[in-house]
Amino acid sequence: MMFKSIFVKLLVTYLAIIISVIAVLSLFISMAYSWYVFDQKQQELEKTGYYVNELVNKLERKEISQTELNSSLDSMGYISDSSIYAIRIDKKALENPKSIQLGENLEESYLFSDLQKILNGENVFRKKQYSQKFDMYVVFSGIPWKTNSGISGAILLFSPISQISSNITKLNLVIWIMALVLIILSAIVIYFNSLRISKPIKQMEIAAGKLASGERSDDLVVVNSADEIGKLAKSFNYMKQQLVGIEKMRSEFIANVSHDMRTPLTSINGFVSGMLDGIVKPEDYNKYLTIIKDETLRLTKLTNDILHLAKIQSGSIRLFRENLIVKTILDSVISSTRALVEKKSIELALECDNTITVYADSDKLKQILINIIDNAVKYTRYGGEIGINVSLRYKPSVTEFRIRDTGIGIPAEELPLIFEKFYRVDKSRSSPGGTGLGLNITRSLIELHGGKIWVISELGAGTEIIFELPQ
């Protein structure tokens, strides 16, 4: 259970790595130092042995006395902390080891095999060898005793290992104490570093839990770093803001739908109640039934728009694309909106070549054009103008649609909002039957085709909506 926490996982993982690395390094340093000490001891003993070789040869040549030799050997033995022996022996004597008398109680089993190597011209070195003569473990070095006539014997050096082992043990103790100190310091650093890394993740976990339970909080995760944790925190903050925005839009959506449905339902209920209660005279029934029908159509349109928007957002809308002649589509759309255009005496001008085509879904393209043209008619004054222009562009290869009107225009600060759900340019003068969903659906359908839409407008001068669809 405890390893489910990312803090504990980071702490344990980092500690395991640090302890392993420090332990391996400490072991390596300890072994390296031990090797270095014995290597230095070997060099020291061999150097002493070579010097003894020269002194013994000088004695043979009567250049020094036995007393001078003994004095020099005692001095070198003291300096090198060793016992030194020069033994005259030849290879033939080693053929019968039992008959060899080395003297000084040097008849030890390992020496006979080493003497064979030494008499063959090899240097012998043993790091740790138990000696019966000295009743202790010693460092042993043997080198050939070389004279002008060849190898005359061996020079043997025995040094107690106790002092070397003591020095190595002391240094090993220092190394492992330092390793322990480093592990403790590393553990402290790792603890706070793991806490620093896991803290924002824990904060995000708590914040995510609050979001999941529907709690609202303005406190966001703050991470002042440019690494992956910082980027994750920024992404989480962005997601949280988006979710808050979506929740706000959802609340506004429900409020707007409720308002837009309550108004016609209230009217219908009022007129029907008036008829049933006898308040409305029979000769006025036709007038009020017409209003009820209009309000019913308005409710139907609102319901259809909401269902259509839900399908788009759920991704269940499928496009059946084909190469379409744009002029044919426009003629059909203009015919369906002609009654509204003529009712307001609006002059509608179309500029579109018969050869222009677009790769799109026919029904969805008609819906896009109807929504935009209906909007233009709705906000264009009596006797105004609407212009429709379609052209081809080749970088990139798109069909561009421009619908321009001489309507009331849109304030500059409201231009970014016109494609939002339930947005209306002038709520006080909105035409009956408007749901505020048309342009939002239009943008969704255009983006579903891989196109884009934008608007140019000047308050009081009119609006131009432009959209592009891939050819």
What is the SS3 assignment for 126? Answer: strand
Is the same domain home to 20 and 161? yes
- Per-residue pLDDT of 340-350, as tens digits, reads 888 889 999 99
Is the same domain home to 22 and 148? yes
Is the same domain home to 263 and 412? no
Is the same domain home to 14 and 125? yes
In whole numbers, what is the pLDDT of the chain averaged over residues?
83
Is the same domain home to 13 and 155? yes
Assign 220 a pLDDT band (cuts: 50, 70, 90). low
Q: DSSP letter string over 248-260?
A: HHHHHHHHHHHHH
pLDDT of 50 above 70: yes
Is the same domain home to 59 and 110? yes
Is the same domain home to 35 and 125? yes
Is the same domain home to 345 and 261? no
pLDDT of 225 above 70: no
Is the same domain home to 344 and 302? no
Is the same domain home to 429 and 378? yes
In a domain, 172, yes or no: no
In a domain, 17, yes or no: yes
Domain with 238 in it: 228-311
pLDDT of 307 above 60: yes
Residue 252 main-chain phi, psi, to 5 deg: -65, -40
- Using alpha carbons, list the distances in angstroms from residue 54 to 59, 64, 72, 102, 163: 9, 11, 11, 21, 28
**CATH number of the structural domain spanning residue 357:** 3.30.565.10
Is the same domain home to 411 and 330? yes
CA gap 337, 332 in Å, rounded: 9
Sign for the pseudo-dihedral over CA of 122, 128, 132, 136: positive
**CATH number of the structural domain spanning residue 111:** 3.30.450.20
Work out how many domains the chain is built from and give that number. 3
Question: pTM for this one?
Answer: 0.48
User: Which one-letter DSSP state was computed for residue 216?
Assistant: -
Among the three residues 289, 311, 333, which one is the final residue of a domain in this structure?
A: 311
In a domain, 177, yes or no: no
When mean pLDDT is compared across 217-221, 247-251, 287-291, 461-465, the lowest value belongs to: 217-221
